[in-house]
A and B are shown apart, each in its own frame.
Chain A
Amino acid sequence: MGTSADRPADKARSQDELNTAFETVTFGADQPLKLDCGVDLSPVTQAYNSYGTLNADKSNAVLVCHALTLDQHAANVHPATGKEGWWQGMIGPGRPIDTNRFFVICPNVIGGCQGTTGPATINPATGKPYGLDFPVITIADMVRAQVQLLDHLGIDKLFCVAGGSMGGMQTLEWASTYPDRVFSAIPIATAARHSAQNIAFHEVGRQAVQADPEWHDGAYYDHGTRPRKGLAVARMAAHITYMSESSLYQKFDRNLQDGDEFTYGFGPDFQIESYLRHQGSSFVDRFDANSYLYITRAMDYFDLAAGHGDSLANAFKGTETRFCVVSFTSDWHYPTTYNKQIVHALNAVAANVSFVEINSDKGHDAFLLDEPEMFSTLQGFIDSAAERRGLT
């Protein structure tokens, strides 16, 4: 058995140096991860965080799936940035995903760069980081890895799977492929297929990374460098899609960074320029450029209907999972229309589905922010699902 939970070395490092606890589990050659591209990948290490306590019959587990550039640090201080968890408002004692009642697991996705095997991991065949030798992964592969993790933890049926954006894609994949293992599902601000516009924005980001001479065809690890500028531009472009025009107006409008006068140069005259540059440069400190390529690719390939005769409804046929689909009025990246396509498909199979559109001017990022209406509706949905699951 190639599984070794809580490797002492990682545990020691996370507690002593990083002042947080995240756990890892490694699946060896006897349990390869079977990827959509045909590769059997091993060994695969998965990093995850958990909050709360698993009950005796293991019926109170909630899987939280992270978005593109996030990680397993959903409800704890991030060891690298020192910032609070990305879903701290949603997860915790007395929060909608109440850690007094539920056992919450948040794994870093396959292809990621926060402890789970990805392109920056050492390839045992060469002794060097995989780089572009890492196989191309899909959303279904991410979910397959999570299935392995839950099997390892002995959790047969999840009380709930929840996630926004790419986390919502994983949530849909879970509900579609493993319906018997998902009691309730909360896909937020997401899509059942990546649109041409979504793919287009991702391609801009990937091209920016690959155009950076420091990228070295993905082998920058060997050159002791990183494509910082390319990845920063990718992040800047992506970040615009996460915000709404009105939030940009309210936050920055045309305000100048210093003084009242243009500099008549190309420095960051405008506050929005300075903000984006900061977003770009702080991102490259915590994220691997190749991971960005692989994970955006996985999102681009996502089309849940494609594997079901081009009918999204077929992807959910016979489902008994309770769904709550959430979208935001000002999200133009994964707009309400995309989320309503999921609702239409669920209605077509007479699934138990709720759908709320939250009034927010914060754009796509709203799902990560303090949105009282999102919290209260999800609280209602989760409480009622817990009652039906017999959880107190």
Chain B
Amino acid sequence: MALRPLDNRRDLSLIAELVEPSSRVLDVGCGEGELLEILANKRNVDGRGVELSQEGVNACVTRGLSVIQGDADQDLADYPEDAFDYVILSKTIQATRNPGAVLRQMRRIGRHVIVSFPNFGHWKIRVQLGLQGRMPETDTLADKWYDTPNIHLCTVKDFVSLCDELDLEVVQGLMLSGGNVRQASSPGFFDNLFAEEAVFLLKRR
């Protein structure tokens, strides 16, 4: 997964607030460990990370974080059931090969699941594709179509429907647009149109 500049990661502080203090957390696709560091410093969390890029992993370990080189699609199967209080996938699900299987594994190994992703249903994206007839490029999805790691983009609506299929209950939904955050545990038409990014806290139904 591409390394993520912090200025583009307002979802991280929101995620950190969803996590109970002193809990056990697995951050899947943890990059250079920005979220894990926030969680360790502010929430006293026992955090672990999985990161695909070796540069990211080495940077994390150098910062004193417990991180392994691994792949969301492959390596979650290793962990035992209920190994963590929270399993977090921040802006990574769209880059996995099999998002459904990844979510199923997260549901198995974590009592809670937190997922953040760029909303492909945002109006700007719809305009670019629908009226201009071009693959969208936005602040949250800045790569060219031929140069993007994002192979499984979805809308807020798509995601909620997948959660329903996987027996995952939405405990909290946070819709991000501009500097605003709107709570929506059952997001509707306007959320799907105006959220640039979404953060969901889920648990087994």
Contact = CB atoms under 8 A, between A and B. Distances in A.
B64 A384 contact: yes
Interface residues of B, number: 22
Interface in A374-391: 376-377, 379-381, 383-384, 387
Residue in A324, A354, A380, A384 whose Cβ sees the most chain B Cβ within 10 Å: A354
B147 interface: no
Interface in B29-65: 46, 48, 54, 57-58, 60-65
Given A349-B80, A350-B80, A350-B83, A387 B64 contact: yes
A85 to B, nearest CB: 24
Interface stretch (A60-68, A258-266, A340-348): A340-348
A55 interface: no
A384 B68 CA distance: 16
Interface of A: 322, 324-325, 343-344, 347-350, 352-359, 373, 376-377, 379-381, 383-384, 387
B78 interface: yes
Which 8 pairs from chain A and chain B are nearest by CB? A384-B64, A380-B62, A355-B68, A350-B83, A347-B78, A377-B61, A354-B61, A380-B64
B69 interface: yes
B66 A348 contact: no
Contacts of B63: 380, 384
Interface of B: 46, 48, 54, 57-58, 60-70, 75, 78-80, 83-84
Contact of B84 (A350, A352, A355, A358): A350
16 contacts: A322-B66, A324-B61, A343-B68, A348-B80, A349-B80, A350-B79, A353-B48, A354-B65, A354-B66, A354-B68, A355-B57, A355-B70, A356-B57, A380-B61, A381-B61, A381-B64
Nearest to B55: A359
Contacts of A387: 64
Given A353-B66, A373-B58, A383-B64, 15 more contacts: A343-B68, A347-B78, A347-B79, A348-B79, A349-B80, A350-B83, A352-B48, A354-B57, A354-B66, A355-B57, A355-B67, A358-B58, A376-B58, A380-B64, A381-B61
Contact of A356 (B46, B48, B61, B80): B61
Nearest to B78: A347
B77 to A, nearest CB: 9
A383 B63 CA distance: 9
B50 to A, nearest CB: 9
A56 B29 CA distance: 42
A272 to B, nearest CB: 30
B58 A348 contact: no
A384 B58 contact: no
Contact of A376 (B62, B75, B80): B62
Contacts of A358: 58
Contacts of A379: 62
A373 B61 CA distance: 11
Contacts of A380: 61-64
Contacts of A373: 58
B196 to A, nearest CB: 34
Given A380-B62, A380-B64, A387-B64, A357 B80 contact: no
Contacts of B60: 354
Nearest to A358: B58
